[in-house]
Amino acid sequence: MKCKKLVDTGRRQFLRGSMMATAGAVATTVMTPEQAKARALARVDMPVNRLANLADLTVNEPMDISYPDDESPGVLLKLGEPVEGGVGPDGDIVAFSVLCPHKGWMLSYSAEDKSLNCPGHHSRFDCEAGGQQIWGHATNNLAQFLLSVDDKGDIYANGVDELIYGRLSNVL
Ligand code: FES
């Protein structure tokens, strides 16, 4: 009898502790107004910038661009085959930042294997695989600009999928 009472008391305390822990977990998921404001600020509206027209591009010849502003150089490419993130009638047009994610050296394009290459510490990025790093010191993939094409064939950048080197956020 005494033992059963102790067991019941222990169970009640365990359940009460569990409920308090659950309540605590719920409380941590509710944001304060300050947290909600900070999160809203982290959401960035990127500009929609015209980069070129379909008629301006030649397969495997990079075109220099910048996005979202003049301080952020990039490259626009028509790769000739449908690729990850590719737009246009052939799904083969992509654009990337050319600032190396490692330390910001300027990348150069290799038409031979459709990669962007860093002269600094030799990181390499695959333009056919969304800027995936294939070699080197960088610790993340290359920032790819998100593109769209209108019915006149104008190509627009309207976002970016990674942090552009040197920026704390992708804010202008
Ligand atoms: Fe490009 Fe170091 S700056 S690998």
Q: Residue 37: which H helix or E strand, with range?
A: helix 33-42
For residue 118, which atom of ligand 1 is closest to its CA?
Answer: 1
* DSSP designation for 91: T
Strand-pairing partners, residue 32, are none
Tens of pLDDT along 98-124?
999 999 999 999 999 999 999 999 999
pLDDT score for 42: 57
Q: Per the domain annotation, does 165 fall within a domain? A: no
The sign one gets for the Cα dihedral 78, 84, 87, 90 is positive
Name the residue at shortest CA distance from atom 3 of ligand 1: 103
The pocket around ligand 1, CB under 6 angstroms, is made up of: 100, 102-103, 105, 118, 120-121, 123, 136-138
- Threshold 0.80, pTM exceeds: no
33 within a domain of the structure (yes/no): no
**Atom 2 of ligand 1 has which residue's CA nearest to it?**
121
Predicted confidence band at 34 (pLDDT cuts at 50, 70, 90)?
Answer: confident
In a domain, 100, yes or no: yes
Query: Per-residue confidence at 169, pLDDT binned at 50, 70, 90?
Result: confident
CATH number of the structural domain spanning residue 113: 2.102.10.10
- Complex ipTM: 0.99
- Domain of 145? 49-160
Answer yes or no: 102 catalytic.
Answer: yes
Q: Rounded to an integer, what distance in angstroms lies between the CA atom of residue 60 and that of residue 51?
A: 17
Structural domain tally of the chain? 1
Strand partners, 52: 155
**Is 137 an annotated catalytic residue?**
no
90, 65, 77, 169: which is closest to 130 by C-alpha?
77
